[in-house]
Amino acid sequence: MSQLIEPVARLIDALARLPGVGPKTAQRLTYHLLRAPDIEARALAAALIAVRDDVVYCERCFDFATGPLCLICSDPARDDSRLCVVEEPLDVLAIERTRAFRGRYHVLHGAISPVDGIGPERLRIRELIDRADARASVGSPIDEVVLATNPTLEGEATAMYIAERLAGRVGAISRIARGIPVGGDLEYADEVTLVRALQGRQLVEGAAER
Amino acid sequence: MSQLIEPVARLIDALARLPGVGPKTAQRLTYHLLRAPDIEARALAAALIAVRDDVVYCERCFDFATGPLCLICSDPARDDSRLCVVEEPLDVLAIERTRAFRGRYHVLHGAISPVDGIGPERLRIRELIDRADARASVGSPIDEVVLATNPTLEGEATAMYIAERLAGRVGAISRIARGIPVGGDLEYADEVTLVRALQGRQLVEGAAER
């Protein structure tokens, strides 16, 4: 690498630490930021500082929040009887975009992974159990917990562990379907996914009744 | 888009303004920065502010600098007799990486583009002529100006314009070669590049002497 003036080298270095940003992209972004309108560059710096200063975890679901409760937990219109368990805050966004779930969430902040030394105690599982018990203790147990951890080894293990812990504490426990993605190609699906797609097959409505 | 807390929405918005960063990437980067070590996120913000506060243009070549002159202009070991003209500061980095040029640079900050309303007066061409004249006036004219603007319509027009303006003011004026990229495939080269590659063909050393 050729010589660079210190502030430029420092910004390239800081940007290159971001996920998916290689040294070439970091360099391109730096040179863009050097010449962008002053207000644009400073707005980015200010926004960055603001998320660090003003964002905390929701006391109830552990999604990001600016007060004690996140936007979803403080929304009275959401369905209290259903709880969706996800690994990361980004997963909440993904499910929210579908508009197919109107219940509440619980963010674990990871998945059980013995290889990486992440046991259940490192995740927000204790708090999830407590949430279920608190609801049951006031006579309105959660009707359904949807386990929406990733369909990976870690996500499956986490779902299994949570299902065992929640058994008897909530009405029903479900797991999101695993199968061929919509628009996907059977021919290119891996074997494990295909097995899951077969196992999870559903009767075609109407056809069974004929 | 689902509801987002304001600081998060603001950072996603600021990141999505960066070139090559779409809304999905901006979201992923924001969630990374929310959970990154505090020092990492604040170092990025500080680096961003530092480039805006401390970086200026070199008085001589218009590359980025932290003082009156950039690192290359203030390096006494560089060859004063050769000057490479490029469109952008990033082009200086690209050429420096090759270690094939040891002269000085001149950064135009763009290329002539009538469509975008960019005429020669918007670029640092006046300053380039002045540099050439200043050298000539002290009896040591520049030996060679290498025109390394991009091989695009705008870059070629800019090179042509500068060549006309510099004629008689410097020893020689050259243009970087256009042709098939090393490792490229003739079959997939566009016609214009192929024509350039043929026009720019060079005698194979030794073969002519046999």
Q: Is the pLDDT of residue A118 over 50?
A: yes
Q: Give which of B1, B2, B99, B104 to mutate to test A binding, by max A Cβ within 10 Å.
A: B2
Could you tell me if B13 lies within 8 Å of chain A, comparing CB atoms? yes
Confidence class for position B2, pLDDT limits 50, 70, 90: low
Chain A interface includes B71 (CB < 8 A): yes
Return the pLDDT at A1: 42
**pLDDT score at B210:** 47
Average pLDDT over residues A119-130: 97
- The Cβ of residue B23 has, within 10 Å, a number of other Cβ atoms equal to 12
Contact assignment for A33 to B14 by CB distance below 8 Å? no
Please list every residue in chain A whose beta carbon sits closer than 8 Å to the beta carbon of residue B31.
88-90
Q: How far A93 CA lies from chain B's nearest CA (Å)?
A: 7
pLDDT digits (tens, 9 = 90+) for B6-40: 999 999 999 999 999 999 999 999 999 999 999 99
Which of B10, B47, B72 comes nearest A14 by C-beta? B47
Whole-angstrom distance, CA of residue A195 vs CA of residue B50: 55
Tell me, yes or no, if A187 comes closer than 8 A to chain B by beta carbon: no
Instruction: Tell me the average pLDDT of chain B.
Output: 91
Question: Cα–Cα–Cα angle for A83, B9, B16, nearest 5°?
Answer: 125
Q: Is A57 on the interface with B (CB under 8 A)?
A: no
Residue in chain B nearest A93 by alpha carbon: B2
| Of A3, A22, A6, residue with least CA distance to B99 | A3
Average pLDDT for residues B64-89, to the nearest whole number? 95
Q: Is B63 on the interface with A (CB under 8 A)?
A: no
Residue A54 has its nearest CB partner, among B7, B21, B32, at: B7
Q: CB distance from B78 to chain A under 8 Å? A: no
Cβ atoms of A145 and A170 within 8 Å: the answer is yes
From residue B52, alpha-carbon distances to A10, A49, B55 in Å are 12, 16, 6
pLDDT digits (tens, 9 = 90+) for B111-144: 999 999 999 999 999 999 999 999 999 999 999 9
Kindly tell me if the per-residue pLDDT of A50 is higher than 60.
yes
Q: What are phi and psi of A114, to 5 degrees?
A: -55, -35
Q: How far is CA A42 from the centre of its chain?
A: 30
- What is the arithmetic mean of pLDDT over A75-98? 93
- Give all strands (DSSP E) within chain A, no chain letters: 56-57, 64-65, 82-86, 104-107, 144-147, 172-175
Which residue from A minimizes the CA distance to B21?
A29
Instruction: Indicate left, alpha or beta for B110 from its phi (over 0: left) and psi (-120 to 50: alpha).
Output: left
Cβ within 8 Å of A, B 21-50: 21, 25, 27-34, 38, 40-45, 47-50
Residues 92 through 111 of chain A touching chain B, CB cutoff 8 Å: 93, 96-97
Write the pLDDT tens digit of every residue in A126-171: 999 999 999 999 999 999 999 999 999 999 999 999 999 999 999 9
**Residue A172, phi then psi, degrees to nearest 5:** -135, 155
Q: pLDDT per residue over A167-210, tens digit each?
A: 999 999 999 988 888 887 878 888 888 888 888 887 776 555 54
